[in-house]
Each structure stands twice: as structure tokens, then as C-alpha cells.
Structure 1
Amino acid sequence: MNEQTPHTPSRRKVLRTTAAAGTGLGIGALGSVNAEAATGTAPATPPEAATTTVPRRLGATMAGVPFTGRSTVRVGLIGLGNRGNGMIGLYLALPWVRVVAVCDPVREKAERAAAKVVAAGQPAPAVYTKGEEDYENLCARSDIDFVHVATPWDSHFPIARAAMLAGKHVGVECPVAMRLEELWSLVDLSEQTRRHCMQLENCCYGRNEMRVLRMAHAGKFGTILHGAGAYNHDLRGLMFSPTYYEGPWRRLWHTRLKGDLYPNHGFGPVANYMDINRGDRAVSISSFGTPALGLAEYREEHMPAGDPSWKETYIGSDRTISLVQTAKGRVIRLEHDVSTPHPYSRINSLGGTRGVFEDYPARIYLEPDHKDDQWADFSAYAGEFDHWLWKEHANPPGGHGGMDYIMVYRLMQCMRLGLPPDFDVYDAATWTAPVPLSHASIKAKGAPQEIPDFTRGEWRKARSGVDSVKPA
């Protein structure tokens, strides 16, 4: 069932009215702002933080808006590299989901994805491989309900925009966009088209993260005071690999931005613990960065003379540390480091007046359960506080410890049953805002940057999120 209705505004009207909202942000008409993004090319200059003036709402809020229920959810996947190709099997594992179309400018990748669909017993999907913008033809199909975007970061915004304008709900891999004005545009488009635009933040569905979330909501930590999240992951070898990524696009972002390029994995779970956009709000961010030395040193040790990477000048801080303040006075610490050697960690910490949890490794200390300043076994809380999704799917398939499957299962379940999504465009914009804002703060020697209220005041209202009730 296609959800396009007579009440859905036309593409022309959305473009016109969203451009009008853009002038209130000082960003000009939508088309001119995103002309280079629509080509799939990276910006020539770093995406600076724009003014955070809140434009008037051009459509009703999307907070708490349910999907239209359907017996079968029809999916189109755009971007079939490492991430996109790895996600196909998770959709195919759900009997009420059909993969209708796949898209990638590299034909071999699209054909490999299509073969997986056929091998799973579904009809052969339509294949779109005619250039960087063939995704528009996929989005224009009338038999797609949801579009999954797993492409290089600079193309996330134009593809999400095209999907919503074509009447599709869209989920985007992290980060959802790279510029503040693009985040506002996605919010406006979601509200006008009445289509959800979601950050596909798998870490929100990690078993530990969901257990901490339920414990926080049950009051086990007392009054929440602080949290921390990170993406500390040594990616030097992958970023210089000639085959892992399709070209050097990810490494090149380190020549353009000084700040946190990938805040979502750390920010999303902690934002859920604190009910950000559901009773509290992130209001400002102050960021600090180290010198950019790691990638250049790795290149010197591992890359031959004449390699194209020798033409690159890296400015991205090897480690970025940001402090986010919330409306209730709580503090969130974010870290990002993909350029130096260290074990993987998302930190994933939460503290309150009754105790603290820290991950990597998982450990907990709560009063009155624990004493003598000794960390306790976090697994002892599994029986009481594991989320129903993890109790129902104790050994989920797929990567990242099963969180990818849990995320896909829950999103597709919400679409099938006509439930609101666990998170929405406001969460996507908030969790991604540190990308441009941390860059601006570091350039300003740590000066605080305002995080916009993308909800336009709706954050004051309590509502459900990832800590969901199991459907009947």
C-alpha cells in the first residue's frame, strides 16, 4: 500500500516552502544550498555551523506519528558496499519484508545483492546502476515503502531528500547529513511530506545499551547526572586500503573537518538514557581536538611514494573530546578517534546519584546493591532488565553482536503494525549536529556552540522511544 495521499504536498510545493524556511536560517534557497550535495561530490569547503535560529514550522510535528500499517513492507536499498551488502540478509530474514529494488553505481555490487534476494526465494529485485543519481529512479517507484541509505556520507542528504519527496520513509546510516542547514532541511521535509527520516543507529539496540536504558528508566541510577559515549576505533588500515571503501571518501573527510565526524554511535544511546527530545534537550556543545598526526604518520610508514594519499593534508583532530550540556543541566562527554592505535571502545557510560555503569568492559556499581568501592557483575541484571527484544531474540543473526538485526526487526515491525518509530528525524538531527558544531567549536578554541531545538519545543513532552512496550 502506497501511503501517498491527496494531503501529501507536491514536490514543487515542498521545494518552494522549504527554501523559504532556509532563508530564515541564512542558508538561501534549498536548491542552491544543496546543488553540490546532489551531485554526490564532497563540499569544497568545510560545512561550517550556520545560525541556529529556529524557522517557523511548515508542517505538523512528526514526533509520535505512527506508520500506516501494512501486511508486507517493501524495501529499496541504496548503496551496496560493506554496510549495505551486509544488511540485505537481515531484511530477507523477515517473512513480512520484501526487497523490491537495489541500487549502486558499481554494477557488480548491485548484481551480487540481487542474487542474494533471489537465493532467499524472493522475486528478482529491480537493479539501478546507471550512474551516481540513479537512486532517484528507485525512489520514484510506487511499490516501495522504505528506503535504506548506505552510501558515502556526502550523499546521505540528497538521497534522503529524494526519498521523502517521492513519498517514501527513509533510514540513513550514520551520520544523516554533514551540514547544519541540511539537518534543518530534513526536519522540514519530514514534517511536510509526512514521511519519517530516521538515523539507522544500531548501537541504540545493543544488548548492554538497552539494558542500561531500562535500568535508567526504572530509577536504578537515581537522578541521572552524566553520561559518555564514543567512537574510538582504529580505522587507519581500512581508510588507506585500496579495496575496503569505494575510493578514499572517508579518509578525505579528515582533510575537511577538525571535529567529531561520527558522533552517533556514542551520542544516540546516552541521549536515550536521558530522554533527550523526550523530556530533556541537548542545548550546547564545547569541543576540543588534538593535533592531526596519526594519519600522516601511518601514511609515511605504510604507503608507497606516489600514492594519491600523499597529496592530502589532514586537519581532523586525532582525538576529539566534546562536552554536551542538556536543558536539565546534565553533561554528556563524546569522544572520536579513528586515527591512532587503541582498542575499540564506545565508552557507553551512565552515572547518577545512586551509582554508575561503564562499558568496555561492562561493569556497574549501584547503591544499595554494591559496596566497598568494588565493581560488580553487570550480567546479574540481565534477567530483570534485558529488553523484551533481546529476550525474544536471544541469539540474533547478523553483525555487531546482533544489534543490526534487532534494529531492522524493530523498525520493520513498527512499519508492519502501524506503530511510531522508536526514533525520528529530530533524533537524527540532534545526534548528528556535533559533526558541524564540534568543528566550529574547535576552530573557536572550544567556544560553546548552540545545538538547535529541532523539535521546536516538542522535547518538553514525554513520549516513548527505544524503551518500548512489546506489541500485543
Structure 2
Amino acid sequence: MNDAAPQNHDISRRDVLWTAGAAGAGIGIGGLGTGSASAAEQAAQAPAQPQEVPAPKRQGLTMIGVPFQRRSTVRVGLIGLGNRGGSMIDLYLAVPGVRVVALCDPVKAKAESAAAKVVAAGQPAPAVYANGDHDYEQLLGRHDIDFVHIATPWDSHFDITKAALLNGVHAGVECPASMRMDQLWELVDLSERTRRHCMQLENCCYGRNEMRVLRMAHAGKFGELLHGAGAYIHDLRGLMFDPKYYEGPWRRLWHTRLRGDLYPTHGFGPVANYMDVNRGDRVVSIVSVGTPALGLAEYREAHMPAGDPSFKESYIESDRTISLVRTAKGRVIRLEHDVSTPHPYSRINSLGGTKGVFEDYPERIYIEPDHHDDNWGDFSKYTDWDHWLWKEHANPPGGHGGMDYMLVFRTMQCMRLGLVPDFDVYDAATWSAPVPLSHLSLKANGAPQQIPDFTRGDWHRSRPGMDSEKPSEA
């Protein structure tokens, strides 16, 4: 079966769905073409840069610099207890000053298993909500939850996050925050109106290498920053066809809906932090190109039995998507996405400036005056530049090399001590924006798309972010 071309999919209608409100969001879709000109003529007429469109009028006050209310105990709810949420609960239970009060998952056995962990950790039994896909509404209606961790399939992220904010609960949502531009704007507006933080729970920002490079970059070790790159390159073919791992085909089905970068935040978030995006610089445009969509169909032919429901699916998601993001200061960020072909895991994670460069996978560094003769240096010799979190927690528990624990520990610390979070709703919207915008760029033959200024002009303000000072526990 040839699945290179979509079958029985109304792609034009989906373009409208997933980029709804594009003009109001300042995307600029004129390059798509709506007249009778040929595709080649439309591409030739596409502007060199997208036209600037004003951001929607602010409905509330900015959330930049807004601290959490200080509290001695943070009361947490978790929604979604599959592979991700089921592992994160252990980390919340490992952080002092945190109480898990409520759990939600439509699979009752998973909710009950997570509840047993809470009791085993010596905490009171949490309330369990397992009555269908919308029982999270009952959880969020409680009056004893300060923070909710949302670890559900992507298409539910927006609805659950919106419900949390409207119920006065600070929301932490797994990646990406939303797949649609209009919803990203709505999350910004809701956070500002409700005065509750909406955070993209980007664990890769808390990786040891990422935090070390961040501190070195901010100290000028790479000179003036020029370029960076981040990616999500991970062979997920087997997992996407495993009905138990993702509990159905929800992740694979996104490959039948969009062509662009479905999962940009793991690579984008750390590089944005290096470059102080939304804190003195901002991203202004994105250009994307992509390969044919062949990998999933080939894997299906080789590994799935005849008659499997997946043979009804037509994949359009590019096997490899490459995007170039430009910042207001003229810097360039390269983003890549590939989960459909054989490749060792990589987030690329590179940063270059006028004094040198760092590249990950494998980690290596070359900066002046430390290195010369075109020989890479040993990054392990730069441990003095480790962030204070990694100096205090050298062997953190949990998966992904400890970055998950650092994310939970630091978020809960900010809430207990009444600090400003390391990142906010503007970062969540910015890091997730490549999902719909890369799709638009691909549909427009690589025409650049404007990335909105979700801060509405406040990006000019220099302010702290991930490179935080160690707080006093007093």
C-alpha cells in the first residue's frame, strides 16, 4: 500500500482547525495563497518575511515577575497517570513540603495504583477520580489543590489547563501546551486574567548539561551568541504501534493530521533559555521544510498483521522536519523532529557564539582561549559551572538522568517560598508555537511564518529565568 499521499483526509479543513484565529494571533497566512494562481506562482509571491500583525488586546495584567503565594505545604493533583504521570508521582512524593491530595485517570487501576504509592509514602489517601475522560472537572472543582500536573494526550492539554486556571489552580502541563495557535493565545489571556501561572513542564530545561551551558552562556563564555540548535530525534515506531504503551493510537494519529514539528519544546526550550528569549530577545519567525512521510508506513508493512486498524491510516507527518527560527537580535535556532526513522536518541542541544561552541550527543566543547588546533575539549572539566541545583542534588532520583526530579523540586520550591517561577505562560506559548506554525510553513512551500510576541512587548525587559540564584530557605 502506498501511503505517501493522504487518503480520505480533509487536510484543508484541518488547516483551518489547527490554525484557527491565525490573523488575530498575528501569524500572517497570506503566503498560503487563496486566488487562482498556481502553487509555483504563489510560492514565488510569498514575502521574504511574514508581515507583522498586532497582538490581540491584553485582557488582564502581565504574569511576568508574578510570584507564587508562599505556603508551607503545596497541595498537588495529578491528571493522567500513564507512562508519564505514573512516574512523576514518585517525584512529588520525594519532595519535602508536598502533599498529593487528588489523582485522576479514566483507567481506574492506574489511579488506584498511584493512590497506593501515596499511602505507602505516609501521606493520607488521596481522592481518586476515575469516572470517564471528564472526571478531571470534579478534581479541579476542589478547594484544596494549589497545583495540578497534567500528563494526558496532547489533544486534551488545552481543555484541562483551561479548566485548572478557571478554577484558580496553577497549572503545569506536559509538552506541548497546545497544538493550536488560538488556544495558545487563550492560555496567555487566561493566565493573565485568573492570576494563575500556566507552565510548560519542560524537563529538558533542567538537564545537567543544559543548565551548565546556560550558566556559561550567561557568563559570556561563548561570547556574543549567534546560533543554537535543538531537536527531538527518537525512534518511536515500535512504541507508536504498541496499543499498551500509549493506550491506543492517539500519538500516531497526529501523524495523519499535521506535517510539521509535533514536539518542539525539548529542543527549543533550552536554547531559548540560553538566548534569553522573552527576556531581552524574542523569536520572530520560523521557516520549515520536511521530507516525505514514509517511515511509519514502512514499519507498519513490516511489523503489523494484515487487517490491523492502522492500515486505514494515511501518514502525512514529515519523517524529518527541519525549522529555522530567527530572533529579533538576528540569531538563528535550528529545530529538528524525527520519530519515524532509525536513529540514536538526540536532542542535538548546541550553542555557538563569537568565542566558541558546545555540541551535545556526544557532549563536546570548543571555546577560546581554552581550546585550539581544531581539537574538541572535554566538557566534563567544566563542572564548576554546574547550576546550584545540580551541586545540591548530584544524584537525583527519577528518570531522564534526574532532570524530572529537578523540574518537580524547583517548581515546588518556588511555590513553597513564594518565588517567581523559572518560566511562565509566555514561554509555554512560545515553545509550543512551532507545532502549528511549522505545519503552516510546510503547507506554504517553506514560506516564513511570524511567531507572535506573546509578551505583548514585555520581552524587552531583562529578567531572571532558569539561571536562578539559590534562594534562602528562611
TM-score, with normalisation over the residues of structure 2? 0.90
Contact 1:160–1:172 under 8 Å retained in 2 = yes
Letter in 1 for 2:458: E
SS in 2 for 1:45: helix
Letter in 2 for 1:288: V
| 2:131 match | 130
| 1:378 match | 379
SS in 1 for 2:310: helix
Deviation at 1:45, TM superposition (A): 2.4
Deviation at 1:155, TM superposition (A): 0.1
Deviation at 1:246, TM superposition (A): 1.3
Deviation at 1:448, TM superposition (A): 0.3
| 1:34 match | none
The alignment covers a number of residue pairs equal to 429
Q: How does 1:178-257 map to 2 (within 5 A)?
A: 178-257=179-258
SS in 1 for 2:171: strand
Deviation at 1:131, TM superposition (A): 1.0
Alignment partner of 1:397 is 2:397: yes
SS in 1 for 2:227: strand
| 1:465 match | 465
Contact 1:48–1:439 under 8 Å retained in 2 = no
SS in 2 for 1:220: coil
SS in 2 for 1:138: helix
Alignment partner of 1:48 is 2:58: no
Letter in 1 for 2:407: M
Letter in 2 for 1:92: L
Letter in 2 for 1:48: T
Rounded to whole Å, the distance in 1 between the matches of 2:281 and 2:170 is 26
Q: How does 1:38-77 map to 2 (within 5 A)?
A: 45-46=14-15, 47-48=18-19, 50-51=22-23, 52=26, 53-77=54-78
Letter in 1 for 2:180: R
Rounded to whole Å, the distance in 1 between the matches of 2:148 and 2:96 is 18
Contact 2:19–2:182 under 8 Å retained in 1 = no
* Residue segments in structure 2 that go unaligned for 5+ positions in a row: 1-11, 27-53
Contact 1:292–1:318 under 8 Å retained in 2 = yes
The superposition leaves residues 357-386 of structure 1 with CA deviations (integer Å, 9 ceiling, x where unpaired) of: 000000000001110010000011112x10
Letter in 1 for 2:378: D
Deviation at 1:135, TM superposition (A): 0.5
Q: Which shifted more, 54-63 or 327-336? A: 54-63
Q: Which runs of 4+ in 1 moved over 4 A?
A: none
Letter in 1 for 2:377: A
CA RMSD of aligned residues (A): 0.9
Contact 2:229–2:334 under 8 Å retained in 1 = yes
| 1:315 match | 316
Contact 1:364–1:376 under 8 Å retained in 2 = yes
| 1:287 match | 288
Deviation at 1:44, TM superposition (A): 7.7
SS in 1 for 2:14: coil
Rounded to whole Å, the distance in 1 between the matches of 2:323 and 2:74 is 39
SS in 2 for 1:98: strand
Alignment partner of 1:334 is 2:303: no
Contact 1:84–1:150 under 8 Å retained in 2 = yes
The superposition leaves residues 130-184 of structure 1 with CA deviations (integer Å, 9 ceiling, x where unpaired) of: 1111101111110000000000000000000000000000000000001000000
Letter in 1 for 2:166: L
Rounded to whole Å, the distance in 1 between the matches of 2:237 and 2:195 is 41
Deviation at 1:242, TM superposition (A): 1.7
Rounded to whole Å, the distance in 2 between the matches of 1:349 and 1:152 is 29
SS in 2 for 1:375: coil
SS in 1 for 2:396: coil
| 2:39 match | none
Rounded to whole Å, the distance in 2 between the matches of 1:144 and 1:377 is 46
Deviation at 1:211, TM superposition (A): 0.2
SS in 1 for 2:453: coil
Rounded to whole Å, the distance in 2 between the matches of 1:412 and 1:458 is 26
Alignment partner of 1:147 is 2:148: yes
Deviation at 1:101, TM superposition (A): 0.1
Rounded to whole Å, the distance in 2 between the matches of 1:402 and 1:148 is 18
Letter in 2 for 1:452: P
The superposition leaves residues 244-299 of structure 1 with CA deviations (integer Å, 9 ceiling, x where unpaired) of: 01110000000000000000000000000000000000000000000000000000
Aligned residues with identical type, % of pairs: 79
Contact 1:296–1:314 under 8 Å retained in 2 = yes
The superposition leaves residues 398-423 of structure 1 with CA deviations (integer Å, 9 ceiling, x where unpaired) of: 00000000000000000000000000
Alignment partner of 1:277 is 2:278: yes
* Residue segments in structure 1 that go unaligned for 5+ positions in a row: 1-42
SS in 1 for 2:430: helix
